[in-house]
């Protein structure tokens, strides 16, 4: 059996997950990364995307809109702005996330970052098949 790390995912509303994982695929703001046991300590910001966790139970995916991930040799803690298990995400919820991002892009002074957030949500939608 592969070595595991403790995976924890929390959002302001609730704790979504806490279990041992063999790998955590993170949508980092500067690029995707995979954390496994023995990973160098890292803190990264998240972009909107799918966070995937591989464990003995299989692979579970979560929609995240941003936040931070702290990776250590023994664990991965993700503090998400918003997070929903992919199997609980509805098309209407995803439409609302996209609409919120479009509204923010319309008034945001950092147009590049706002437009990237919208593009990331559309890319995540395609990846998720929703």
Over residues 37-46, the pLDDT tens digits come to 999 999 999 9
Q: What are the boundaries of each domain within the chain?
A: 5-86, 89-128
On the question of pLDDT at 104 being above 80, the answer is: no
Q: Is the pLDDT of residue 58 over 80?
A: yes
pLDDT band at 63 (very low <50, low <70, confident <90, very high): very high
For residue 1, pLDDT over 60 is answered with: no
End-to-end Cα spacing for the chain = 33
- Is the pLDDT at 23 greater than 90, yes or no? yes
- 48-71 per-residue burial string, b: 16 or more CB within 10 A, e: under 16: bbbbbbbbeeeebbbbbbbbebeb
Q: Is 24 helix (H, G, I), strand (E, B) or coil?
A: strand
| Architecture of the 5-86 domain | Sandwich (2.60)
Structure pTM? Answer: 0.85
The pLDDT value given to residue 10: 97
Please report which confidence band the pLDDT of residue 122 belongs to, taking 50, 70 and 90 as the band edges.
confident
Name the percent of the chain lying above pLDDT 70: 98
Q: Is 115 in contact with 98 (CB distance < 8 Å)? A: no
Whole-number pLDDT of residue 76 = 97
Rounded CA-CA distance 18/57 in Å is 13
């Amino acid at each position: 059996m592969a070595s595991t790390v403790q995976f924890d995912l929390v959002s302001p509303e609730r704790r979504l997950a806490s279990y041992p994982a063999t790998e955590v695929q993170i949508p980092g703001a500067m690029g995707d990364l995979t954390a496994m046991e023995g990973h160098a300590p890292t803190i990264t910001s998240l972009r909107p995307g799918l966070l995937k966790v591989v464990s003995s139970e299989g692979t579970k995916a979560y929609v995240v809109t941003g936040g931070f991930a702290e990776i250590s040799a023994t664990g991965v803690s993700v503090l998400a702005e918003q997070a929903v298990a992919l199997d609980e995400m509805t098309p209407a919820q995803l439409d609302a996330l996209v609409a919120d991002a479009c509204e923010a892009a319309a008034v945001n002074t950092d147009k590049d970052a706002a437009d990237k957030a919208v593009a990331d949500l559309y890319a995540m939608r395609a990846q998720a098949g929703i």
